[in-house]
Chains A and B, each alone.
Chain A
Amino acid sequence: MPDNHPRIHWVSPLPPAETDIAHYTRRILPELAERAEVTLWTDATTWDRDLEQFCPVRSMGPEKILPKQMRSFDGSGDRAGDRPGTVFINMGNSWVFHAGLLTLASRMPSVVILHDLAIQEMCLDAIHNSLLGRQTYLDTMYRWYGEAGRRAAQNALQGRIPATDLSQTYPGFEIAMDNAVAVLTHTAAASEAVSARGYVPTYQLDLPFRASDTARHARPMTGPLRFVQFGHIGPNRRLEQVLEALAEMGPDFDFTFDIVGKVWNPELIRARCQELGISEKVHLHGYVSEPDLDALIGQAHLVFNLRHPTMGEASGSQLRIWNAAAASVVSDQGWYHHLPKDTVFHIPIGGEIAALQQLFVRLQEDRSFGWSLGLAGRQRLIEHHTPAHYANGIVEVANAFENDARDALLANSARRLLSEGPDTPRLSGLMLNRLAQLF
């Protein structure tokens, strides 16, 4: 029976945490709080008090919180109408924000919102910081990926292979959905990957972004071309390749490149700029305020939003770029591959530098090259990515939770039964078939 105003426990990093997932939560909160009885939960001890205008915000210890602490009641102690709630846990690849939430997800059946399919870095960092048990992790890797997966995980723990390499073969999202009732993703690729496991229902919603009233931009028609890259910038963001492409354009290629956000190794990047002779044209800003970031994007002739490797995650950064009606270039894979061609420049994985340089040449000839892409991108943002649309989807998922919970719990019971049952695959298969017929 659908509940027009379901109870939702929304577990997420919260502003001012320096992660786009915190911003995403803030983005959808007004609309979500209109449509549901929301409580925000965080394992941080501080949060932006502005959030409390929409709903209660509470801190919790993910390793020990219990339902009795999550019950809704007003100050007078009236506990009438304490309907069952749906817990949504936002999962990303940063151990700082998500290691605790992974612990909660393993204890409390929930809807896991997978912002990233590849979460091995988060898992390995969590282990190194004693927030995830090593043996628990290895057992889970074995359960989902077999002996090969377990061995690979062990190699990663011992530093023999980087986490990114591990993620290519064993992305690790299954670790987060071990005890899930359902999974919510933001891309078709992620949805397919989760569905392929046949473990829990998978939902897909377009990532939300609150479009500004207008696209404020001031792209200069003279002077240096302005380029921007922003966000949590790791090696997969192809920054080094961008720098190389820019440098090879020669000293007459006039540009300014603003890098905003957290770079994985700023000293490495500065040294590389020095080597390439472009230090004076490249500016590392670190994190800036959102208005300042939007202003920089608004002035950019091209924004770099490359990802390789990518595990199919959606890009909140791309939505911000579209909001500014800015032209952007993306790697032709994963979620980006499916973006309409009239909204972004796609470049191939192999031959990035050459492809980028072709774009640079076109921009140099015509600074308005790419404006139509920016406008089309903004149009797509408005049609598909509104917070209201997203909040409606969350409410639908919450309304389906009761039946999904039943299916998930009974499926777990069946798995336990089969794991303790006859050893022969044929006999287990008989039971499995019968259970499939009944449920």
Chain B
Amino acid sequence: MRVGVLQTQVPFVRGGAERHSANLCEALRRHGHEVAEITLPFKWYPTSTLVDSIMAARLTDLSEVEGVPTDLMIGLRFPAYLARHPNKVYWIIHQYRQAYDQWEAGVSELLDDPEGDVIRHLVRAEDRKAFADTTHPIYANSKTVAQRLQTHLGQKATPLYHPPPNAELLTPGPFEDYLFAPGRLNPSKRPDLLLRALAGTASPLRLVIAGVAENPSYLESLKTMAQELGVSDRVEWLGGVDDEAMRAGYANARAVVFVPQDEDYGYITLEAMLSGKPVITTTDAGGPLEFITNGKQGLVSEAYPPALAESFEILMQDKVVAERMGATGYEHYHALNISWDHVVETLAGQSHPKDSLRPAMASDVAETNKSVSKVGDPQADAIAKRRSEIVPAQTTRMELPAGLDCDVVERMWGALCLADYEAQTGLVRIKVTNHSLSWWPKTDGCAVCVVAEWIGPDGVLRDTNVFVPLTDALGPGASQTLGFRLDPETETRPTRGALRLDLFQTEVGRFTDDGRANSVTLPCSEEAFIKLVRQGSGSHA
């Protein structure tokens, strides 16, 4: 299917919602869908601009592109999800909370605007209409969000959980002597509460805080508070950390503390559970309470420092309890069927991943194919440079078929699928499918070709070659099969390394660079690879 993912964009801001949308897109693609992430910019102040944003979304027609219908639209956030499409399914990660629970909590900006109450009416009217117009059930990313829909609009919504962005990186580890507090540093996450609780503990308990403050002066105020509370020496401020540091922070902690106020979902809770760590949270935290029961997967206390301090002490003083709760949390996570496959099947219907070799989840959509070259390896650096030019490998060179040079700018979409592979004989059949709207051209146009690369046993890219230019034109939706033979593994010639096949378009680049196709990887020795490329073009079917 052609699927659009409707997301609101606040320019220059990138956070959990953006990663969530990217991961959903990636998951849909792995299931063979053609996906476009459609973002609409959103500015909500002054109120007249908020109204204009709603108007803009309502005026946006996404039913088709260049005459080709978009089959399904998945709406994630207000007001982007108001855009027009005849087949929309909502998976709500954000309503406009200022019109709902934040108003009741007394923190909405609308309270200070003379038009604030009538804006609430507008937002509710738009949400009601949007939800009434769909034939699909309404989904929410958590019970907390679903409950808000029920409370404020009387709208039934089904919670549909998804994994946190770095789920596959997280692993359980030892239980060391610190409490880990990751996440953005802003008042809604209540790091000040953590500091006050820490000050109420008797034992030399350490708090490791990983995260960036949205406002630098807020971080300074927190550090000043720590000093005034006399806990500066017990707080470690990590700031922004990379994925490995975050993983380690979770893996080695005694427990994870997460005390937001009425959080929608809370990746941190799930990340803690995946790391096998108990979670310390509060009774008003919202999302975390969907997964943490007091005394089972962690501790839940009232949201005031002495109660929280007591939770800190319990887990720091009793490692066995922490281990037990962490294990319970780990098992609980896995029992909940929190997977992208489940999400995709729920939103887009039953489908199966097209390729059993799944690429890593996108933690940043711009970061793809960067892990192959190791820093400091001169040969790898040279290869990487040549790779970007698609110059054939050192040992072999194949001339590009005539007509490959062109000035095409239309970006093609496609898919590679391993149709057949006989390890004994080395026979390989690769099915190539055109998912574009246009024909993949012949040799007198801008041809699409298959690029073959050999990756060494150490994971470093060693060879690149244009392997099989597709000399036959391939129409939209059409497929053709490439066949070739790799020398099979023998006792004297063990297979080490891998052959990777990508689709490539002249003047545009590698399809996998921006998600326009997947790649296929097969075990292959360097010798077999060289033999393969010397054979020239394989057979086409």
Residues on A lying within 8 angstroms of B by beta carbon are: 1, 65-68, 70-71, 79-80, 82, 84-85, 87, 107-110, 181, 401-403, 405-406, 408-410, 412-414, 416-417, 438-439
Q: Is B55 a contact of A410 with CB atoms below 8 Å?
A: yes
**Complex interface: chain A residues within 8 A of B52 (CB):** 413, 416-417
Q: Please state if B111 and A71 are interface contacts (CB–CB under 8 Å).
A: yes
Contact yes or no, B116 A66, CB < 8 A: yes
| A406-B121 contact given A67-B116, A416-B48, CB 8 Å threshold | yes
Closest-CB distance, A213 to chain B (whole angstroms) = 40
Q: Which residues of A contact B121 (CB under 8 A)?
A: 84, 401-402, 405-406
- Kindly specify which of B122-130, B390-398, B501-509 makes contact with the partner chain: B122-130
B115 touches A109 (CB 8 A): yes
Closest CB of chain B to A180's CB: distance in Å?
Answer: 10
B122 touches A409 (CB 8 A): yes
Stretch at the interface among B102-110, B226-234, B345-353: B102-110
Which chain B residues border A417 with CB–CB below 8 Å? 52, 55
**Chain A residues with CB under 8 A of B48:** 412-413, 416
Chain A residue nearest in CB terms to B125: A406
Q: Contacts of B112 on A, CB cut-off 8 Å?
A: 66-68
B residues neighboring A (CB under 8 Å): 48, 51-52, 54-55, 58-59, 103-106, 110-122, 124-126, 128, 153-154
A-B contact count, CB below 8 Å?
Answer: 83
Q: Is the CB of A413 within 8 A of B55?
A: yes
Judge whether B54 and A68 touch: CB under 8 Å: no
Contact yes or no, B117 A70, CB < 8 A:
yes
Quick check: B126 and A68 within 8 Å, CB to CB?
A: no
Q: What residues of chain A lie closer than 8 Å to B55, measured between beta carbons? A: 410, 413-414, 417
Which residue of chain B has the shortest Cβ distance to A66 in the bound complex?
B112
A79 touches B104 (CB 8 A): yes
| 20 extra A-B contacts, CB within 8 A, seeds A1-B153, A109-B118 | A1-B154, A67-B111, A79-B104, A79-B105, A82-B104, A84-B117, A84-B120, A84-B121, A85-B117, A87-B117, A108-B115, A402-B121, A402-B124, A406-B122, A409-B118, A410-B51, A410-B55, A416-B52, A417-B52, A438-B59
Q: How far is the CA of A403 from the CA of B117 in the complex (A)?
A: 13
User: Quick check: A67 and B110 within 8 Å, CB to CB?
Assistant: yes
Evaluate contact between A67 and B114: CB separation under 8 angstroms: yes
Task: Determine how close the nearest CB of chain A comes to the CB of B45; give it in whole angstroms.
Answer: 15
Closest A residue by C-beta to B56: A413
Known: A402-B124, A406-B126, A438-B59. A108 touches B114 (CB 8 A): yes
Closest Cβ of chain A: how far from B283's Cβ, in Å? Answer: 16
Contact of A405 among B104, B122, B153, B154 (CB under 8 A): B122
Q: Which residues of A contact B154 (CB under 8 A)?
A: 1
Interface residue from B59, B111, B128 paired with A68 (Cβ < 8 Å): B111
Quick one: closest A residue to B106, CB to CB?
Answer: A79
**Closest CB-CB distance, B115 to chain A, in whole Å?**
6
Cβ distance A58 to chain B, nearest Cβ, rounded Å: 15
Q: List 9 A-B contacts (CB under 8 A).
A: A1-B153, A67-B111, A70-B117, A79-B104, A84-B121, A401-B121, A406-B122, A413-B54, A413-B55
How many angstroms between the C-alpha atoms of A392 and B498 in the bound complex?
Answer: 77
Known A412-B51, A414-B55; contact A84-B113, beta-carbon cutoff 8 A = no
- The answer to whether B116 touches A402 (Cβ under 8 A) is no
B110: A residues at CB distance < 8 A: 67
